[in-house]
Homo-oligomer: A and B are copies of this chain.
Amino acid sequence: MDQKAKTLPNAGINPNVSVDCVIFGFDFEELKVLLIQRKEGPDQDLAREGRWALPGNLIRDDESLDTAAGRVLGELTGLERIYLQQFQAFGNPDRVRRQADAEWLHYMREQPNARVITVAYFSLVKLHGFEPQPRSFARNVAWFPIDEVPDLAFDHNEIVESGLLALQRILRQRPIGFELLPRKFTLGQLQRLYEAILRRPLDKRNFRKKMLKKDILVALDEKQQGVPHKPAQYYRFDKQKYAEWEEKNLDADFDVVPV
């Protein structure tokens, strides 16, 4: 047992392994990513603009990777109990060697020169309802359109890229998109979500046909109100029915789009 470890504030923190979360949100128009702005020094010193980064941090030695991802995300943004899925480990030896990150590492980390590999998670949250709050070393939290992500810390731009690819892949296999929408939604909103994630237009009639045929949506007896056009039917996702669909289609893909 390392005596040092017991007395320092960072006891139990593993210096070599971190988790990072690519959190996607959808505002009915475009796909967004949740980023935090780091504090680059003591609280008083907010003159310097902090660098934007993915919410992430070193793991503890007594927690699993999944647990760490949930904990770190909560600590930095206040988001709790949300769907998180591991998608890739990043371990380039120079991923934490950028000059732009040196100061923050020295300020925050007990071992600023440690080699750090990171395990990346992605997640989907309903933009409407959760309001992330900056905490810990996050000075700010904000949603960025996926096309307007700034230059991020470390290799986080690469991680965002890969996260989007992972999301696109998963979307073909499971109707995961519902995590991004409120309980009730219209088919138009659902289609725009798919288009935002896949980054291409879909045929309206074919999309509706296929989606409804899965028999995992139930129509509510409620319609849009106050919209300057024909009000749309509201639907909700039926978890029960989806579980049945999944059982009957054990290794089928959830395809609602042409490949």
Segment touching B, from A87-95, A99-107, A181-189, A217-225: A87-95
Copies of this chain, tallied across the complex: 2
Tell me the complex Cα distance, A90–B252, Å.
26
Q: Which residues of B contact A93 (CB under 8 A)?
A: 61-64
A117 contacts the other chain (CB 8 A): yes
A65 contacts chain B at the CB level, 8 A cutoff? yes
Question: How many of chain A's residues have a CB under 8 angstroms from any CB in B?
Answer: 28
Instruction: Check A206 for interface membership: any CB of B closer than 8 A.
Output: no
CB contact between A17 and one of B63, B117, B168, B253 (< 8 Å): that residue: B117
CB distance from A26 to the nearest CB of B (A): 21
Q: How far is the CA of A119 from the CA of B17 in the complex (A)?
A: 11
Please determine whether A89 and B86 come into contact, CB atoms closer than 8 angstroms: yes
- Is A115's beta carbon under 8 Å from chain B? yes
Q: Which of A209-252 contact B (CB under 8 A)?
A: 251-252
A residues whose Cβ falls under 8 Å from a Cβ of B: 1, 14-17, 59, 61-65, 68, 86, 88-93, 113, 115, 117, 119, 168, 251-253, 259
